[in-house]
Amino acid sequence: MPFCQSLRVPCETKFFLLHSDAWAARLMKLIILDRDGVINEDSDAYIKSPDEWKPLSGSLEAIARLNRAGYRVVVATNQSGIGRGLLNLETLNRIHSKMQRMVQEAGGLIDAVFFCPDTDEANPYRKPHPGMLLEIGRRLHCDLRGVPVVGDSVRDIRAARAANAWPLLVRTGKGRRTLEQETEISAHVLVFDNLAAVASYLIKPAMAT
């Protein structure tokens, strides 16, 4: 099982019972973000402390804009650093508290953070497996079809595809490397400069004002 932090109560369950149409699920407007390389600067040496967690420019504001446009923002991140013993759960909590505090200072809110501490590549909850995303869909009572999943690596794209969600690639973090090395897979995914560009593409101009 992936761990989940600060998940709010799923709402609007009744609404979905009324609208069985798969596309109606989009009305709920959920967006799932990878963490490292999408929200904050990535590091090959893992993010092991709150101090090492530095937001990418514009990403916090982008989350706030998405919130204002009606999106619920959920983070789904592999955190094998825990399994490797590089950091413990308490530290991870402190990192995420910092992330949440900074997002809130920018006027936004992250609804939940899902993470998979396991190092085993076969773990169905570890991206590129879709388990973590599917779990989000289950917990939020939300059909993942058409739900944007933003990531910077092939793992994110594969997981999103396997979960029948909508993968989006950003050039931040490992994004550029992914584009260069994984031409086959990145040819069939929309690519954006950063999370801010993703938000602009998703949000109607009228809604931004």
Q: For residue 15, state whether it binds other proteins (rule: CB under 8 A).
A: no
Tell me, rounded to whole angstroms, the distance of Cα 84 from its chain centroid: 22
Q: For residue 18, state whether it binds other proteins (rule: CB under 8 A).
A: no
Catalytic residue status for 156? no
Spatial CB neighbours of 49, under 8 Å, sequence gap ≥ 6: 87, 91, 94, 95
Q: For residue 145, state whether it binds other proteins (rule: CB under 8 A).
A: yes
Q: What is the DSSP secondary-structure string of 12-49?
A: -HHHHHH---GGGGGGG-EEEE-SBTTTB---TT---S
Given 62, 82, 154, 189, the residue binding other proteins (CB under 8 A) = 189
How many CB atoms are located within 10 Å of the residue 122 CB? 7
Q: Return the structure tokens found at 132.
A: 């973590």
Strand segments (E) across 80-147: 110-116
Q: Which residues pair with 4 in a beta bridge?
A: 114
**Least distance (Å) between residue 46 CB and other proteins:** 29
Given 73, 150, 168, 195, the residue binding other proteins (CB under 8 A) = 168
Q: For residue 136, state whether it binds other proteins (rule: CB under 8 A).
A: no
Instruction: Please give the size of the binding site for other proteins, defined by CB under 8 A.
Output: 18
Q: For residue 206, state whether it binds other proteins (rule: CB under 8 A).
A: yes
Q: Which stretch binds other proteins (CB under 8 A): 40-48, 83-91, 108-116, 196-204?
A: 196-204
Given 14, 183, 187, 209, the residue binding other proteins (CB under 8 A) = 187
Site string for other proteins, 23-52 (x = CB under 8 A): x--x--------------------------
Quick one: 53 exposed, middle or buried, by C-beta within 10 A (0-12, 13-18, 19+)?
A: buried
Reduced to 3 states, what is the DSSP secondary structure of residue 191?
strand
**Least distance (Å) between residue 199 CB and other proteins:** 11
Spatial CB neighbours of 28, under 8 Å, sequence gap ≥ 6: 12, 15, 16, 72, 140, 142
Catalytic residue status for 34? yes
The C-alpha atoms of residue 62 and residue 18 are separated, in whole angstroms, by 31
Q: Give whichever of 14 and 188 is closer to other proteins, judged by the CB atom.
A: 188
List residues binding other proteins (CB under 8 A).
23, 26, 145-146, 157, 166-168, 187-190, 200-202, 204-206
Residues marked active site are found at: 34, 36
